[in-house]
Amino acid sequence: MGHHWNHSDGYPIEHNRWIVKRGLEETILVLIAGVSGCIVLSGYFFDIRLLNSVRLTLLNYAAILVGVVMIIGGVNIIRVHRNKILAGSPSSAHSLVLLTSFFATIAIVAFFGITSNYSAWIYENVLIPVERSLLALLAVVLLTLGVHIRHNNLNLFRMVFILTVILSLLSATEIPGIEKLRLDQVYQWLAGVLSIGGARGIILGVALGTLAAGLRLLMGIDRPYSD
Amino acid sequence: MNLPDNILNVAGIVISTFLTLTIFSYLLGDNALFRLASHIFIGTTAALIIAIAWESVLWPKLLYPFLFGSSGERLATLMPLALGILLLSKLSPRFSALGTPVMAFLLGVGAAIAVGGAVVGTLVPQTLSSTRLIATGSLSKLNYENFMHVVQGLLIILGTVTALGYFHFGLHFRDTDRNRISLIRKTTFYVGGIFIAITLGVVYAGIYSAALVAMIDRLNFLMNLLH
Amino acid sequence: MTSIRCPQCGELNFAQSTVCQFCSSNLPSSSTDELSEIGITQPLRVENLPSPKHAPLFPSRINPLDGINGLTSFAQQTPSIHPNDSLPSRLKVTDAQIEHAELLRNLIDAEGAAPGDPSRRFGRSKHFSRFFFSVILIVGLLIFYFVSIPELDQPEISPAVLQTYKIVENLAVNLPALLVIDYNPAYSAELDLSIKALLTHLARKNILSVFVSSLPTGPFQIEKIFNDAKKSRLVILPDQSLVYNLGYIPGGLTGIPLFIQAPRQIMPSEAWTHGQSIYPELMGINSPDDFSIMVIATENSETARSWIEQIQVHPIGRPLIFVISAQATPALLPYYSAIPKQIDGLLSGIEAGLQYETFDSTSDSDSRTWLMYNLGMLLAGILMAVGGILNAGITWGRHSP
């Protein structure tokens, strides 16, 4: 193959070999993704015992490798924040706090076990308060956004949207007097009939999009794994 | 060493209160305390995720069988172990290309799961369900209940078709083009958009409801400290 | 010379490369003479990129089989080798990309020059309005701590909750139940109520509840559910004899298909061994079919959809109940209302949990919570309605002649 490309085109043989090598690498990657994907996909439509056992093995490998990915993610976080501290960036103090909490948690969980009272204590007294508080902030943000919805560009869809939100909120309340407005019956039509139609259209659209994106990946048209 | 429960409880309450209040301080604007709490949370969460990945995946399914299992178990774990080591090379910029085939495998398997599930789990049953909405049994006996059932079924079908049409036929058109768009496309666009606006309005109210519950939980926690 | 050799590994790279593509080390910069040989006489910036008439310098497509002579006819169609020909297709610059880059550069240059709307005085500061509404909401919710709590009827049971109750009531007592806890800690305030109500019902029927999760934080949430049940006023599980934490499903969402088909293959064997030593009835479990019921709790409609899709591929032949957050309800209603149903029971939001508890006469919840919830929803509805009218009025007033 190398002899066909001589120096008359101005490029050394090694350079052309690099092109071939890149092409081969890409082909192998496409084949790996495509073949493994097709074996797994076949299990959804065919019930062949040998294929099924290969499929289950591949799924098992994938499940284990996701665990490795989780480790990689964790190590990457440590590395990023370590670099911030070493570089003396303005947020290095926060990075130090992050690394301290990380290693303290790892030490406690490793020493006492993940089912110990101490691990449960960390979950209940660090994760739960922070996550619930962050979600609580969202209530304020949504309320603010809903009140300030701009009407310079009012169109039919925005009106329908905000009316639906208001009706849904009011009909969910059991405060005496509100039920006289019969909003719950309106809400039953909104949420129980009309929104099912819209939601079904959305989930069908999402499924079709997933199908297209997945097939593009399996056929090698999209290669997100490629460098 | 087993710390007395009451010390743990008090420490837990102090830390929960501190984290809750620092997160809520975001209502006054972004500040260092809020960032401090976020970094503690990120560090703790990353540590717990790594602990679970090790305890539930890597050690029992990979390393323990390889180190202490029978020869059959060792052989069975050889392949995932090799793939895992290749994947770990993603941490190094110099050797990250070694992990690319493993990423291709993971993405291929993931795409196949998504495609298979979308077709068998959503597209087929939801499409068939839409065609069955107006059961012939409802038409056999004409009463108010059956009539409402038929009306609801028709509305859901209308919502499904127009919502799907809104997304899938690229019904975006500039003002200047509106006169040239057919009436059917325009109607589909507006009707589909209304159904989607209703669905998103219900979702918005649902998100607010979930966030409100979190807000109530945090307020109850803080008030119970004072009482 | 139109290529540059890496001083570290000795491999050849393109003249305009700054980092070696093989060993990622820095390359010495190319001289202008070298760059000019391939038609680049100026630094590579957007305004210096060649115009479309110089397109042959930047061919737009290359496929992985290019360069392999004789394999396909593509080899004949490939233009003569040029350094930019062998660039991966992503690095080639098309005319459209040049135009987009110019547009982006102009937008960035114009950034920061946009003036605010001086006529918009009310609520101009984001922080002020957010703080203002947070005060209204928090003060409104806390009002029941300072005034006497009025009587408020407990919510009437909805058809969906009643159906779920009947399904659980009719379960066979000799088979364990499978509960999947797939919600984040943030949503535990909303969903724990329904899970606790279900757990109480199952425990009263003496049914073993086996818990799993596809989330890494799931096992911790499961332990929290056990601890809360132990501390509950109703003493649901005094010695945790009717619950077992099977742990984390390796792979998360990737592990779901394998869990549905072969749970013993994917879960660590030690988890099963330990469980079987305490609960011998786990020995007969080889698939989700062997459980009496499957309950999946999640706040995420994507997670719920993944479970539904994978179960549809391998139907479990047992009732499937979903405990979901209010935000995910619209996305799951099509599955619940499908013919035939893809979901048998649905408990949505905190209201469903309260309804279930009330119907089961096992209510352990503080009535103040229900009042605060109602007031919060009412407050939001009224504020949004008033805000919408005010905003519309201001906008109309500004634009009217």
pLDDT tens for C194-225 read 999 999 999 989 899 999 999 999 999 999 99
What is the DSSP annotation of C300-348? -HHHHHHHHHHHHHS--SS-EEEEE-GGGHHHHHHHHTSSS-S-SEEEE
Residue B52 lies in a domain: yes
For strands C209-213 and C243-248, give the pairing. parallel
Interface of C with A in 249-308 (CB under 8 A): 249-252, 254-255, 257-258, 261-262, 265-266, 305
CA distance B98 to C275: 39
Residue B109, domain member (yes or no): no
Please give the pLDDT value at position C364: 67
Listed residue (C215, C205, C209) closest to C183, CA to CA: C215
Kind of pairing between the strands at C177-182 and C12-14 = unpaired
**ipTM of predicted complex:** 0.90
Calculate the average pLDDT of chain B: 88
Please answer whether residues B106 and A184 qualify as being in contact, where contact means their C-beta atoms are separated by less than 8 angstroms: no
- What one-character-per-residue DSSP string does C10-29 give? --EEETT-SB-TTT-PBPPP
Q: Which has more pLDDT, A123 or B184?
A: A123
Chain C residue whose CA is closest to B51: C216
Closest CA to C217 of C182, C192, C250, C189: C182
Amino acid (one-letter) located at A191? A
Length of chain A: 227
User: Which pair of structure tokens corresponds to residue B21?
Assistant: 């209040």
Report yes or no: C46 and C53 within 8 Å, Cβ to Cβ. Answer: no
Task: Please report, as a single letter, which amino acid is at residue C12.
Answer: L
Percent of chain B scored above 90 by pLDDT?
A: 61
Q: How many CB pairs under 8 A join B and C?
A: 149
The label of the residue with tokens 């679970």 reads B52
Are the C-beta atoms of C325 and C183 separated by less than 8 Å?
Answer: yes
Note whether residue B214 is domain-resident: no
In the 8-state DSSP scheme, what is residue B62?
Answer: I
pLDDT at C30: 52
B124 near A CB under 8 A: no
Give me chain A's average pLDDT, please. Answer: 87
Q: What is the pLDDT of residue B137?
A: 52
pLDDT tens-digit map of C290-342: 999 999 999 999 999 999 999 998 888 899 999 999 999 999 999 999 988 99
State chain C's mean pLDDT as an integer: 79
Q: Give the pLDDT confidence of C249-268 residue by residue, as tens digits.
A: 999 889 999 999 999 989 88
Domain count, chain B: 1
Q: How far apart are CA B96 and CA B93, in angstroms?
A: 5
Mean pLDDT of B50-75: 93
Tell me the chain C residues in contact with residue A147 when contact means C-beta distances shorter than 8 Å: 129, 133, 383-384, 386-388
| Nearest Cα to Cα of residue C376 among A174, A181, B224, B204 | A174
Determine which of A32, A151, A161, A184 to mutate to test the interface with C (most C C-beta atoms within 10 Å): A151
Q: How far is C251 from chain B (nearest CA, A)?
A: 8
Element holding A140 (H helix, E strand):
helix A128-147
C51 vs C31: CA distance, rounded Å: 23
pLDDT tens digits, one per residue of C133-143: 999 999 999 98
Cβ(B165)–Cβ(B171) under 8 Å?
yes
A contacts of C249 (beta carbons < 8 Å): 63
For residue A167, what pLDDT is reported? 92
**What is the domain extent for residue B36?**
1-68
Say yes or no for a CB contact (<8 Å) between C384 and A146.
yes
Find, among C396, C386, C358, the residue nearest to C155 by Cα: C358
Give, for C181, the enclosing helix (H) or strand (E).
strand C177-182
Q: Considering the domain boundaries, does residue B50 fall inside one?
A: yes
Nearest Cα residue to C272 out of C207, C358, C176? C176
Question: Could you tell me if residue B38 is inside a domain?
Answer: yes
In a domain, residue B2? The reply is yes
Q: Is residue B221 part of a domain?
A: no
C185-212 b/e with 16+ CB inside 10 Å = b? Answer: bbbbbbbbbbbbbbbbbbbebebbbbbb
Task: State the best of A89, A108, A159, A195 to mutate against chain B, taking most chain B CBs within 10 Å.
Answer: A195
Reported as a single tens digit per residue, the pLDDT across B114-144 is: 999 999 999 999 998 888 876 655 556 677 7
Residue B100 within any structural domain of the chain: no
